[in-house]
Amino acid sequence: MEGFFSIEARDPGSLARAGLIRTAHGTIPTPIFMPVGTRGTVKAVAPDDLESLGAKIVLANAYHLFLRPGPELISKLGGLHRFMGWKGPILTDSGGYQVFSLSALRKLSQEGVTFRSTYDGARVFLSPEIAVGAQVTFGVDILMCLDECAPYPAGREETEKSMGLTLGWARRSREAWGGRGGALFGIAQGGFYPDLRRRSAADIAALDFPGQAVGGLALGEPKEMTFEAIETARSELDPAKPMYLMGMGTPSDIIEGIKRGADMFDCVIPTRNARNGQLFTRRGKLNVLNARHKDDPGPPDEKCSCYCCRNFSRAYLRHLHQNREPLFLRLASLHNLHYYLDLVTGARESLLKGTFPCYCKEFYELQEPVD
């Protein structure tokens, strides 16, 4: 994968860097945030919204799309890009997270994982080969290996066993991929045992994937543990390749992740929380459903230039939500995605200008103290 990733600028005081990831559907400037579109749609927003927000890549989920509508249908309809009407790059998660999040509905074996479908209860088997095959069929730009994300807390033995399974699956995924289609990323696990984290990262790095992800983060552990795990993994991964922190995170998680060398992020927070009324502003979180906004004529964030903030009041947004109007979901999602994309774009620009430390400082200074 010559020229897949290049680094344009580095912050001398940290591991932060700005780079470019080149794919068949476009070049992705990093650091980047990927809106989550699990089922081939970023909930409540259309592809043209994503485009005007400046989204450079979206994430979809192979497990969900595998179950419904299935790879054959997507292939028949021209691949996932065409199917979902998004022309830019797509990354698919393999379904590894579902091994964790749907743990009550699955049985694990060395060979793979058997799920009870969350749609109709049918038994579905997923292996590293099947997961890669599906992603290749989807025609996505970045594929993820099937992995197992150990829960938190987890015992040392359980964690070690889990990362072993993940490593075996990573080898098989790589074999099944064979360089076809997009770029396959390996996933380092290892829980919160520094030596296991280190080993998992080293083992994954040795497999020489085009990109590297760190999984098993933000499962409820204290922040210091999350950051330590990232640092530990980073020390063993290949710094010439993009590092993707899976499922991260809050705005400050992203800033802290960038400092620690991360290039890619995805998280459901901006879209999910938007649907529940929690909006992100420069000054911190804002629950626009709170009664105190009942007659507030101001936008969610005075300084925000998004479509929502330019045109609508907090009072109107609250009104929409109280009446369960679909427009609420769209406006709130647009705003939060704008915030997240703006956050990483700002970080990137500051890295290119050499002002990243100031950018971070300003980010924290603006946050209102939490009471």
Partner RNA sequence: GUGGGUGUAGCUCAGAUUGGUUAGAGCGCCAGGUUGUGGCCCUGGAGGCCGUGGGUUCAAGUCCCAUUACCCACC
Whether 263 sits among the annotated catalytic residues: the reply is: no
If one asks whether residue 295 binds RNA (CB under 7 A), the answer comes out as no
Binding mask 319-348 for RNA (x = CB under 7 A): ---x-x-x--x-------------------
Residue 311 engages RNA in binding (rule: CB under 7 A): no
Q: Which of 15, 18, 21, 44 binds RNA (CB under 7 A)?
A: 44
298 binds RNA (CB under 7 A): no
Interatomic CA distance for residues 116 and 292, integer angstroms = 44
State the binding string over 201-240 for RNA (x if CB under 7 A, else -): ------------x-xxxxxx--x-----------------
By C-beta, is 12 or 219 nearer to RNA?
Answer: 219
Rounded CA separation 296/317 (Å)? 10
Show contacts with RNA in window 261-290 (CB under 7 A): 266-269, 271-273, 275-278, 285, 287, 289-290
d(CA 357, CA 354): 8
Query: 62-81: which residues touch RNA (CB under 7 A)?
Result: 64
Among 149, 165, 170, 255, binds RNA (CB under 7 A): 149
Q: Which of 11, 46, 13, 53 is nearest to 31 (CA)?
A: 11
State which residue, 14 or 250, has the beta carbon closest to RNA: 250
Distance CA 362, CA 371 (A): 20
Cα 302 to Cα 281: distance, rounded to the nearest angstrom: 9
User: With contacts defined by CB under 7 A, how many residues of the chain interact with RNA?
Assistant: 60
Q: Out of 141, 147, 253, 266, which one is annotated catalytic?
A: 266
Question: Is residue 171 a contact point for RNA (CB under 7 A)?
Answer: no
195 assigned to active site: no
Q: Under rule CB under 7 A, which residues in 92-111 are in contact with RNA?
A: 93-94, 96-98, 100-101
Question: Which of 23, 38, 135, 162 touches RNA by CB under 7 A?
Answer: 38
Q: Which strands, in side-by-side order, build the sheet including 106-108?
A: 106-108, 113-116, 123-126
- Whether the bond into 69 is cis, omega within 30 of 0: yes
Residue 146's alpha-carbon distances to 45, 53, 100, 221, 254, in angstroms, are: 28, 30, 11, 23, 24
Looking at residue 258, its amino acid is I
Give the pairing of strands 5-10 and 123-126.
unpaired
Which residues are paired to 265 by β-bridges?
Answer: 33, 245
Provide the terminal-to-terminal Cα distance of the chain, rounded to the nearest Å: 49
Amino acid code (one letter) for 370: V
Rounded CA-CA distance 286/264 in Å is: 25
**In the complex, which residues of this chain contact RNA (CB under 7 A)?**
35-38, 42-44, 59, 61, 64, 93-94, 96-98, 100-101, 118-119, 144, 147, 149, 187, 189, 213, 215-220, 223, 246-250, 253, 266-269, 271-273, 275-278, 285, 287, 289-292, 294, 322, 324, 326, 329
User: Which positions are catalytic?
Assistant: 93, 266
